Chain A
Amino acid sequence: MKKDLEAKFLSDFEANQNIAHKICRLYTTNQSAHNDLFQEITIQVWKNYPKFRGDSKFSTWMYRVALNTAISLYRKSTRTIKTQDFDDIAFKIKSTDYDDTEELQLKALYKAVHQLNDIDKALIFLYLEDKPYKEISETLGISSVNARVKMNRAKEKLKNILNP
């Protein structure tokens, strides 16, 4: 029984690991912090996996667990943000068929989001991932009206950073 569950977890998580990687990129600025957070997300998803009942999609549920882990995890390295760390990220996600303007935009986007607080980061992430307000409000545990208001503020903040 447990073996089945474990196998299912491994294949679900493997297939959806990009969610965790994206969250790590938003919440951390260097590779070792990225890996630490990724590990903690893996542990939390596995620990909570027996509670996942399958009434929603695995990915939907994983967004919530992964974001909550990022928000509540104690990270020592957040205070030392170094600029070259952003270049690391950009370099890592560079590929041949990749448009240069978009690469610069993406780099600027990450740099801007890094300046937001943890909750705003979560909101912007869910916006970028095209999540409906219903899902955003369930993830954060607030009403969808509140989610809308808060989302608009977070977007305003982000725009001001991107285009001062």
Chain B
Amino acid sequence: MDLLENYKKAWDNQPEEVSKFSELEIYKLAHSRSSSIVKWIFIIGILEFVILNSMYFFVDMDEAYAEYKKIGLENFIHYSQILAYVIIFYFLGMFYLNYKKISTSDSTRVLMKKIIKTRKTVRNYVIFNLSYMALIMFIVMAAEINLKFEDLNTKQILLIVLLTLVLTLVILGGLWLFYQLLYGILLRKLNRNYKEIAKLDRIN
């Protein structure tokens, strides 16, 4: 007889759980809060949006706007921010839809596919945030140089470009780490299971 058949007999004969739950206990459990990862991705996305945007209440934006006005970027900043908000709302909408659509009653493969879609949305969201940041920094830099072009020599211009580059890299690096921590932990396990289930498809 197959080795596993013996164990299967032991499995079949295992007694039922001693600490069974009553209907009342099940009712209480069913109505408590879920801790599923996708839900947390959605919640963290919303929280991040709210926290970053409420920072405008604490940082004096008038000064920044005065600076933008001086270098002639007020219109650009204004419209690019509107566009950025539209895109961010699109992402939050996607987070919500991902959360709504994910259902554990799908087959495991379909479930994992939806999870990987959530992952992609998160990744694109991070990439968008980082590139928007970098774009604004470089445009502000270019505008500053353009404004004071007459007063600056080549060496100074190069220095400004280099400084901006380093500063951008440092800020982006910091943000990247922050996102890695925030979403990376949530996504790592999902990714491992996805790879497993994806392997099932490649067998034949």
Q: Which residues of A contact B (CB under 8 A)?
A: 6, 9-11, 13-14, 17-18, 21, 36, 38-40, 42-48, 51-52, 61, 64-65, 67-69, 71-75, 92-95, 98-99, 102-103, 105-106, 108-109, 117-120, 122, 127-128, 130, 138-143, 145-147, 149-150, 155, 158-159, 162-163
Contact status of A109 and B15, CB under 8 A, knowing A139-B107, A149-B203: no
Question: When the two chains form the complex, which single residue of A65, A102, A163 contacts B104, counting CB atoms closer than 8 Å?
Answer: A65
Distance between B4 CB and nearest chain A CB, rounded to angstroms:
6
Q: Are B23 and A10 in contact (CB under 8 A)?
A: yes
Q: Is the CB of B167 closer than 8 A to any CB of chain A?
A: no
Chain B interface, >50% SS class: helix
* Separation of A149 and B77 alpha carbons in the complex (Å): 58
Task: Tell me if A74 and B109 are in contact (CB < 8 A).
Answer: no
> Which chain B residue has the least Cβ–Cβ distance from A107?
B10
- In the complex, what residues of A have CB within 8 A of residue B204's CB? 143, 145-146, 149
Q: A39-B32, A42-B30, A142-B201 are in contact. Are A68 and B106 (CB under 8 A)?
A: yes
B200 pairs with A140, CB closer than 8 A: yes
A-contacting residues of B (Cβ < 8 Å)?
3-4, 6-23, 26-27, 29-37, 40, 103-112, 115, 186, 189-190, 192-193, 196-197, 200-201, 203-204
Residues of A close to B36: CB separation below 8 A:
40, 44, 69, 72-74
The minimal Cβ–Cβ distance linking A50 to chain B, given in whole angstroms, is 10
Max chain A C-beta neighbours (<10 A), residue from B22, B192, B196 = B196
